[in-house]
Structure 1
């Protein structure tokens, strides 16, 4: 039988590592909206780094650990009839919505990630064409809808995950709970909203 403590810790730590990647990735994408030339220089330099394949393998492994631990923990909670987390969110409609929709948000995020990698990583765009390829992708309405849905799903997932990670690590208590929840809201809106802003901004700029 899988150790529930290890599953909780694995889910929390892998989730926090993925959040760190999202913050760095978002920071790297922002120049695509405001400074295209600088963005292409950054993308070209990044793609020629010898450590990039190692980082990508590490990210894939981290995502696999997070997904497997989260699924195992969710199934175990359902078998045990655990509803305490939902009861603790009464009076917190945003967090309750994020908790109830975490499976749907996770599936949307996984589908978006698969499409995103297929379009922009397998194969990679040629040097100097990263923004152009991304723009052409976003100018297709169905792709823009998927990218917008993926951004919103990431935001919802982070809204749930911020509190869940602290709970899984034993760091959530009645004293710091409100601060952690507000921090989770800021993180979710900043990252999810940031990716949504970039997608819509590039698409609208391309149409103009």
Structure 2
């Protein structure tokens, strides 16, 4: 298997795993808006699971793989003057924007992730205080701006990644291209919009 093929497949599979985690993570956070008590029970139970450290290490490794393969693939494509992907998006402004901004979206997402882990993982809130700590964080204007920017960046990255992942795996065809793009838009808006809604909702609720 050639190295470029390894890059494409590794980037696609690691991205798929991270997208799956985002869906599960969003589902776990939604009760913080509508069912705070149930959310705290869920958070406490999750934090005491013996497999959680293994999951966290696996997510860190998957993120590192995705980042390294994506950066290497991007640099290789630019060095080769590859413009096929952008040309294929003529008439598709959303996909074109997501593609052109993928580097910026990735940097913003990494910055948000570092802040998020520093605020809510090191140290981890005490049992029963997860929502309260998150509210206090989001009451800080700079934190709210970063969380909102991170939500939008994740949405843009998913918008690009859905199509790119299918292309890297050889699954994107003229017949299914439209369905994949619409599915990517729904996924990106659902996850990015969901995290944004939770951030704004908890900030407003915290201020109230």
User: Normalising by structure 1, what TM-score?
Assistant: 0.99
User: Normalising by structure 2, what TM-score?
Assistant: 0.99
Unaligned runs of 5+ in 1: none
RMSD: 0.6
1:23 to 2:23 alignment: yes
Cα deviation for residue 135 of structure 1 reads 0.3
Q: Distance in 1 between matches of 2:50 and 2:118?
A: 22
Cα deviation for residue 205 of structure 1 reads 1.2
Cα deviation for residue 206 of structure 1 reads 1.4
1:47 to 2:47 alignment: yes
Q: Distance in 1 between matches of 2:174 and 2:48?
A: 47
Q: Distance in 2 between matches of 1:22 and 1:11?
A: 16
Deviation string for 1:39-92 (max 9, x for gaps)? Answer: 000000000000000000000000000000000000000000000000000000
Deviation string for 1:110-150 (max 9, x for gaps)? Answer: 00000000000001000000000000000000000000000
Q: Distance in 2 between matches of 1:188 and 1:132?
A: 28
Q: Distance in 1 between matches of 2:103 and 2:133?
A: 31
1:124 to 2:124 alignment: yes
Partner of 2:94: 94
1:105 to 2:102 alignment: no
State the 4+ residue runs in structure 1 displaced beyond 3 angstroms. Answer: none
